[in-house]
Amino acid sequence: MRRISLLGATGSVGTQAIDLISRAEAGAYQVVALTGARNIALLAEQARALRPEIVVTSEPGLLEDLREALTGTGLDCAAGPEALREAAARPADWVLNAIVGAAGLVPGLTALENGATLALANKESLVAAGPLMMRRMRETGGRILPVDSEHSAIFQALAGEKLDALDRIILTASGGALRDWPLDKLETATVAEALAHPNWAMGQRITIDSASMFNKALEVIEARELFGVRPDQIEVIIHRESIVHSMVGFTDGAIMAHLGCPDMRHPIGYALNWPQREPLPVARLDLAKMAKLSFEAPDEARFPALRLAREVMEVRGLAGAAFNAAKEIALDQFLAGQIGFMDMARLVEATLDLLSTDSGLHNDAGSLEDVLAMDHLARVRADELSAGFARAPRQA
């Protein structure tokens, strides 16, 4: 029996992980910790089915609701950031970090500090604190298994290969919901328009990040940290069909591509079963029915987030923490109708520019405290700067 913890169980990745677990033989898994935030009804329903040792909501104000929803189950529950940290620290064979945003950093790092095998969907933690997380992983003998489909594809393409034979990583990107919009019309894109992803069903935040390519920008930085490559070894290519999940180019000129239907249960299941491959309930590709696979270079005027990611990697230090935090504020502001779609990148860039003087952006991400301090500062600055971009509230 494998002991597993599911952090962010109520989200898009979390529920797909539970779908896979619920198909396994009875007794294959013991769930140690199950965590969510605001969706107490779903968290309680999952807890009743999975019978974890502890159920946690990150929202302290929702503890009573959770307690009430678990009445009669005999299950332990707790709430708040410290409870979340304790849940992540519980001994487990496998910990899924499917929390969205920088809130995933402390629980993920805590799991690594306890030597866990961390199945990592939460890319934001690697962007904010990659060197720190990778150091902790090496110190404790922990392990990170990528869950992001692109990084899972790269990880699978690298299996059995020597890292010094790796020449380049080619990250594929669908281009998101607005990929065919004229550049000038992008300024007026609404939340609903940005949410209409052509290929993937994902959480709200990552879907908007897909349309703006901030998601790909985070993934470029994530790839650098996970695979230890130089920034110039990472390429991004638009691939509309989302069939090739990413590619690895080797020094002998060969390219290994990972293909499959766009279904997150593949990378989640690969990480869950690793190092084995087990049957997964995902559709099989019918190559004969596929008319074509297309590839095109991304236009950086349309997707300024990609340029910003390169600048962040040049600075390194605490720039990743600032970038992610400013991006989260920009996304909040866009979701709230306070700034326009293209203003998100402008706000992030303005925040990085402001922080590049006298704010320690170049300092090493030596400790969690340094990272959290930069995260906080960037949020404050982005919030202040956003007033300069504010416009009449737009329709959702």
Residues in touch with ligand NDP (CB under 6 A):
8-14, 36-39, 58, 84, 98-100, 103, 121-124, 148, 200, 202-203, 205-206, 264
Determine the residue with CB nearest ligand NDP. 11
Any idea of the CA torsion for 386, 389, 390, 396, to the nearest 10 degrees? -100
Q: How many CA atoms lie within 13 A of 12 on its CB side?
A: 15
Q: 336: which residues sit within 8 A by CB, 6+ positions away?
A: 393
* 9 vs 55 by CB, closer to ligand NDP: 9
* 103 vs 377 by CB, closer to ligand NDP: 103
Shortest distance, position 16 Cβ to ligand NDP, whole Å? 8
* 103 vs 385 by CB, closer to ligand NDP: 103
Shortest distance, position 305 Cβ to ligand NDP, whole Å? 14
Classify residue 129 by burial, with Cβ atoms within 10 Å: 0-12, 13-18, 19+.
buried
Shortest distance, position 268 Cβ to ligand NDP, whole Å? 9
Q: 375: which residues sit within 8 A by CB, 6+ positions away?
A: 102, 105, 128, 321, 322, 324, 325
* 136 vs 216 by CB, closer to ligand NDP: 216
Shortest distance, position 356 Cβ to ligand NDP, whole Å? 26
* 47 vs 264 by CB, closer to ligand NDP: 264
Sheet holding 2-7, edge to edge: 76-79, 54-57, 29-36, 2-7, 94-97, 117-120, 143-146
* 92 vs 271 by CB, closer to ligand NDP: 271
Shortest distance, position 375 Cβ to ligand NDP, whole Å? 13
φ and ψ of 162, to 5 deg: -90, 135
Q: 24: which residues sit within 8 A by CB, 6+ positions away?
A: none
* 5 vs 122 by CB, closer to ligand NDP: 122
For residue 289, how many other CB atoms are within 10 A of its CB? 6
Shortest distance, position 148 Cβ to ligand NDP, whole Å? 4
Both tokens of 29, joined, read 């898994």
Sheet holding 166-173, edge to edge: 234-238, 166-173, 244-250, 255-259
Beta bridge partners of 250: 166
Q: What's the CA gap between 304 and 247, in Å, rounded?
A: 23
Do residues 360 and 321 make contact, with C-beta atoms less than 8 angstroms apart?
no
Shortest distance, position 55 Cβ to ligand NDP, whole Å? 11
Shortest distance, position 23 Cβ to ligand NDP, whole Å? 19
Q: How many CA atoms lie within 13 A of 58 on its CB side?
A: 19
* 108 vs 350 by CB, closer to ligand NDP: 108
